[in-house]
Structure 1
Amino acid sequence: MMFLKRIPLLFSLILSSIALLPGFSQTTNNFNVIAYFAGNAAQLDSFKVANITHLIYCFGHLQGNSFTLGKPADTLIINKMVALKRQQPHLKVLLSLGGWGGCETCSPVFSTHAGRLAFAESVKVMQTRLHTDGIDLDWEYPAIEGLPGHPYGPADRKNFTLLVQQLRKTLGKESIISFAAGGFTEFLDKSVEWKKVMKEVDFVNLMTYDLVNGYATKTGHHTPLYATSQQAESTDHAVQYLRKLGIDSRQLVIGGAFYARVFENVASTNQGLYQSAKFKSGIGYKQFFPTLTPDKGYAYYWDEEAKAPYLYNAQEKLFVTFDDRRSIELKTKYVVDQQLGGIMFWQLADDLPEEGLLDAIADVKKSYRPAASTIK
């Protein structure tokens, strides 16, 4: 009888030993996969929402001191997002404020206690009415220049802290509060009181894309994983910057780009990389294949240092910087290796419904296990 009583314990020990073997895992990775969405309601049915943990509606704006939606269709989109939670109970739906060029009055409104309080209360009302789970702040940017002509000033940095503190007080502990942060050094240095802000928010969405933006006069990687000898800004640079400040790695969410930036008038030197240029346009990932193909003159290159792809069209002197399945897989593995909070991307409607970049993230999340030596 004593031997029989020990069988369950012995079996448990055997399973525990097997779990320690290389390549064996009992659980999947549990990092967040956060999708910004700026499409229409019908498009949501095309994507595997089961592979997403947070779906962020883009964008609401300020009307006076209050959070507002622009048109009736916005409410329909949010209602559709919330309805998806019936099939995917794990899913969280967030509202978002701002976006590029969408926060023109943020600096003056959030400069006063009355403005911050009114905004927080309006978010609570909207969240209650729409049954959403929280708010993502996409103020581009506190304390530094965003869209030319939009007001900003040094006081924005402190006021952003006061804003997230007021939101937490008003919305309570159960609501999710996050914010989108520029992934470049000037933002990291000047825009946020990091230790104070991160005490109030659940996570930060690092926009580790547009690191070479539409105002650039020289090509480069707009969303590289690592810095190079020619380009200091990168995903890893932003992550390590915040880690050195003592920010919890589990609050850091890195960004993937589901779109490309195209530059024109680019010399053929180094296949167009790090050359003088003028920004031409952006293009969504789902449009890559009919547009950026070898038969149209585009040659594919991989930068092993940056872990980033690029294209060059010698005939038309066009340079293209982007994420693809290979670079997204490496970014997702980086999340696991560095024990980060997750990966987010702009934006879901730019993806392919099948064999797209969301699928690449999901494949890594399901199957990737780091070697012990990679865990930081």
Structure 2
Amino acid sequence: MKRITFITLALLCVSISNTFAQKNKKMDIIAYYTGDSQLIDQYEVGKLNQIIFSFCHLKDGKLTVDSPKDSITIKHLVSLKATNPQLKIIVSLGGWGGCEPCSAAFSTAEGRLKFAKSVKTLSDSYKVDGLDLDWEYPAIEGLPGHLYQAVDKPNFTELVKILRSTLGKKYELSFAAGGFQKYLDESIDWKAVTPLVNRINIMSYDLVNGYSQVTGHHTPLYSTNPKEESTDRAVEFLLKQGVPAEKLVIGGAFYTRQWINVENINNGLYQAGKHVEGVNFKDYAKTYTEANGWKYFWDDKAKAPYWYNASTKTFATSDDLKSITAKAEYVKAKKLGGIMFWELTLDSFRDGMVNEIYKVKTAK
């Protein structure tokens, strides 16, 4: 009897150990997607765990698909699950500039319930797997001119509560979180919200944004000084708030931010300049070339690349294959929930950023 008990116990310990090992090895690869129903077929969907359709919006307080084209796209994304059993399709509300009515709509219990019921109806109708809230931002300024108010913070908590109770456990619920300190401090009641969501998608990019008149790393893994925003800074803050590591997803940027009129000091890094439109990852190889006057630099402390063109006095910052690898390895080391990125249509169809993340995920 004792022998049987010992063997049973030993097997149980092995089973538990294997379960945690499998859990720790899991690293979700999550793609925000703005393309149509045809473009998605060009990508290696089999390497993704989630596709977040971007974006749906509020109309009369309800979650609404904007157009027949978007409706076709969502249905096609859902159809991909038939041949990709690991895949979940999520719809996202909002985006930068896409949540103008959110503060007002979610300011009453009636408004929040109306929205939650519409999410359930839409999710059931399209057979999607859940919702990602991309409200930029509760309680602090987002796009200039959009309403924000201090009461957004408790209202966001109440919104998540009614969404979870309305959707039940069947549906995924996540939200896109600002990666900068003001958002982390002021927008979310982390202790109240965290138990109700499946994951928190940290937008650890645009940390130096288009409103900045000084260059810097816009999506660094680590801070190079105590005041610099970074992926690690946001992660460590949230872990200290008691957020479980497996609920944290960090963000990668598949695009550059660029500044012009940047003097050739420190290769353009941390210098004054004027922000202009950047470049998509799939176009890096033909844009950031020595023939075009560009030089590539690597900040080993930040684990971030940047480019400088002395002839045009232009500076660029982003993720690239090297930095996205470092981020994926960080996810593994920290046992985080995964890595997401903005956004899939900016990647190469093959051998691009998604593939680089996948290589780290599947490495032994």
What TM-score range do you get, normalising by the shorter chain? over 0.9
Report if the CA contact (8 A) 2:179-2:207 is conserved.
yes
Q: Which residue matches 2:102?
A: 106
Report if the CA contact (8 A) 2:278-2:316 is conserved.
no
Code of the residue aligned with 1:150 in structure 2: it is H
Q: Which residue matches 1:139?
A: 135
Tell me if 1:58 matches 2:42.
no
The CA distance in 2 between the partners of 1:154 and 1:272, in whole Å, is 38
Tell me if 1:170 matches 2:195.
no
User: Per-residue displacement from partner, 1:214-235 (whole Å, max 9, x unpaired)?
Assistant: 0001000000000012752000
Secondary structure of the 1:296 match is coil
Which stretches in structure 1 are left out of the alignment for 5+ residues? 1-8, 369-376
* Superposition deviation, residue 27 in structure 1: 9.8
Code of the residue aligned with 1:297 in structure 2: it is G
The CA distance in 2 between the partners of 1:324 and 1:27, in whole Å, is 28
Alignment root-mean-square deviation, CA: 1.9
Q: Which residue matches 2:195?
A: 199
Which stretches in structure 2 are left out of the alignment for 5+ residues? 1-6
Secondary structure of the 2:278 match is strand
* Superposition deviation, residue 282 in structure 1: 2.5
User: Structure 2 matches for 1:255-266, cutoff 5 A?
Assistant: 255-266=251-262
Q: Which residue matches 1:118?
A: 114
Code of the residue aligned with 2:314 in structure 1: it is L
Which of 181, 188, 202 aligns to 2:184? It is 188
Code of the residue aligned with 2:54 in structure 1: it is C
1:158–1:104 CA distance, 2 compared to 1 (3 A): same
Misfit runs of 4+, over 2 Å: 25-29
Tell me if 1:331 matches 2:315.
no
Report if the CA contact (8 A) 2:24-2:335 is conserved.
no
Code of the residue aligned with 1:291 in structure 2: it is T
Q: Which residue matches 2:39?
A: 43
* Superposition deviation, residue 323 in structure 1: 0.4
The CA distance in 1 between the partners of 2:242 and 2:354, in whole Å, is 30
The CA distance in 2 between the partners of 1:223 and 1:159, in whole Å, is 29
The CA distance in 2 between the partners of 1:229 and 1:157, in whole Å, is 29
Code of the residue aligned with 1:154 in structure 2: it is A
User: Structure 2 matches for 1:16-31, cutoff 5 A?
Assistant: 29-31=25-27
Report if the CA contact (8 A) 2:138-2:153 is conserved.
yes
Code of the residue aligned with 1:303 in structure 2: it is D
Q: Which residue matches 2:81?
A: 85
Q: Which residue matches 1:74?
A: 70
Q: Which residue matches 2:4?
A: none
The CA distance in 1 between the partners of 2:350 and 2:329, in whole Å, is 21
Aligned residues, how many?
Answer: 350
User: Per-residue displacement from partner, 1:3-30 (whole Å, max 9, x unpaired)?
Assistant: xxxxxx9xx99xx9xx99xxxx999931
Report if the CA contact (8 A) 1:311-1:319 is conserved.
yes
Secondary structure of the 2:291 match is helix
User: Structure 2 matches for 1:144-159, cutoff 5 A?
Assistant: 144-159=140-155
The CA distance in 2 between the partners of 1:141 and 1:327, in whole Å, is 27
Secondary structure of the 1:295 match is coil
Report if the CA contact (8 A) 1:220-1:231 is conserved.
no
Q: Percent identity?
A: 49
Report if the CA contact (8 A) 2:263-2:271 is conserved.
yes
User: What TM-score results when the alignment is normalised by the length of structure 2?
Assistant: 0.93
